Structure 1
Amino acid sequence: MNGYTILRGMQHYVGKIRTMRNEIRTQRFMNSLPADIRKDIGWPDMYADRGPRGN
């Protein structure tokens, strides 16, 4: 295993962590909006079909 492979694996891992953090941040922001605004934009209906992430 060379350094490039290790670096690629770390970049992939960091990318997944960054994506998860961004999703959590977005959910918190959307949940902090007033109920009527959330209803107008369809939140959380857009994500109701998404199950728990099994990564």
Structure 2
Amino acid sequence: MVKNTLAQEVKIRPAIHLPLTPLEEENRQLKREVERLRQERDIVKKAISIFSHVPA
């Protein structure tokens, strides 16, 4: 599950309130994408499990 803090949503550093550097912003975006892809992977795994079950 994606966990966003207020600081992440506002795109500021919590302690000093400066805008994120381009690398920090890219890192933030990549972490969000990784979490989304993990969720998609888990959904696909569950779907495969459901549809590959052969009733007896």
**Post-superposition, which runs of at least 4 consecutive aligned residues in structure 1 deviate over 6 A?**
none
Structure with a larger share of its residues in helix: 1
Percent identical: 3
Aligned length: 36
The 5-angstrom pairing of residues 16-55 of structure 1 reads 16-33=35-52, 34-35=54-55
After superposition, the C-alpha distances for 1:21-51 in whole angstroms (9 at most, x for unaligned) are 0000010001012146xxxxxxxxxxxxxxx
TM-score by length of 1: 0.60
Structure 2 residue 55 is the aligned partner of structure 1 residue 10: no
- In structure 2, list runs of 5 or more residues that go unmatched: 1-19
